[in-house]
Amino acid sequence: MLYQANPQAEEAMEYFIQQLINGLTLGGLYALIALGYTMVYGVIQLINFAHGEFFAAGGYVGVILLNFFAGRGLMDTHPWLGLFGAFALTMAYCAFLAMAVEKVAYKPLRHQSRLAVLLSALGMSIFLQNALMLTQGVFDKPYPGEKFSGGLVFGDIRISVLQMMIVGLTILLLVGLNLLVFKTRIGMAMRATAQDKVMTSLVAISSNRIISLTFAIGAGLAAAAGIMFGLYYGSVRYDMGFVPGIKAFAAAVLGGIGNITGAMLGGLIIGMVEIFGAGYISGQYKDVFAFIILIAVLYFKPTGIMGENVDDTRV
């Protein structure tokens, strides 16, 4: 050895890397939720205040399915199959839920003022949250995550299997979404619908279908984030959609609402700021950082990081 590492500096470095990994995990979750806000806004200029409830519903449906699979012994024989089965079914469930919400609460108001739809979204949020509370109770519901509790340890840095799974699946979903929106026929129809609905109807594209699909995709991603959240923090609660929902909204605004890459970037930034703020400044204020960013963005650059000038990645 030519040199002796400074043990204090090394510790600080490890702490930093640990925070980086945690920030990436949390930021990925916010990115997944933020996409739903940004895509729906891109296509119908609505801030879907009920979006956080799809995240919460996902958390609950996920735990119900995992418990059900565990009861059948599936989690002992094929834990990964059970886990991914739960993801797939939950995402599908929430996709249908979101399409139903859109049909009932937003579609009839399509030609009314934006305020009317916004209020309907708020109402939907309250309704869904209460439905969850009445059917699932007010207490935390624990998540069965112990199957995936192993992990890698490098010195003081811990990366759990769960964290790797979350980051891996998040990346997969984000890449998949990008391919869908920017490389497929249906994605092209989505982007066209966001730009001019009269013209899309003149080229035989049904905007109703595209709007439905947009809600479904957004809710599916939020539902996946809901399960990951439950697995990561160990439990879910009926009102869990509220705070992460608003933070993800802040992420969408930060990235430039309507912009897909912006939402991903915004989610990552909000997650990082929250983790580093909590780690280096104060854990007590961890929920505040996202809102400080939101206010700063609205004040200094309302169009967000990738707003108007970066057109390429808008819905």
**Which positions lie near other proteins, rule CB under 8 A?**
185, 188-189, 191-192, 195-196, 198-207, 311-312, 314
Identify whether the C-beta of residue 267 lies closer than 8 Å to the C-beta of residue 34: yes
For the CB of residue 204, give the shortest distance to other proteins in the complex, in Å: 4
For the CB of residue 205, give the shortest distance to other proteins in the complex, in Å: 6
Cα 182 to Cα 204: distance, rounded to the nearest angstrom: 20
- Residue nearer to other proteins on the CB measure, 116 or 246: 116
**C-alpha torsion sign, points 77, 78, 83, 88:** negative
- Residue nearer to other proteins on the CB measure, 136 or 193: 193
Cα 275 to Cα 182: distance, rounded to the nearest angstrom: 31
- Residue 291: how many CB atoms within 10 A of its CB? 13
Identify whether the C-beta of residue 205 lies closer than 8 Å to the C-beta of residue 189: yes
- Residue nearer to other proteins on the CB measure, 5 or 204: 204
Cα 215 to Cα 192: distance, rounded to the nearest angstrom: 16
For the CB of residue 200, give the shortest distance to other proteins in the complex, in Å: 8
For the CB of residue 111, give the shortest distance to other proteins in the complex, in Å: 11
For the CB of residue 269, give the shortest distance to other proteins in the complex, in Å: 24
- Residue nearer to other proteins on the CB measure, 13 or 192: 192
Determine the Cα angle at 279 with ends 276 and 284, to 5°: 105
- Residue nearer to other proteins on the CB measure, 201 or 282: 201
Cα 267 to Cα 246: distance, rounded to the nearest angstrom: 11
For the CB of residue 96, give the shortest distance to other proteins in the complex, in Å: 23
- Residue nearer to other proteins on the CB measure, 2 or 202: 202
Question: Which token pair is 113?
Answer: 């003022």
By three-state DSSP, how is residue 308 classified? coil
Cα 120 to Cα 1: distance, rounded to the nearest angstrom: 67
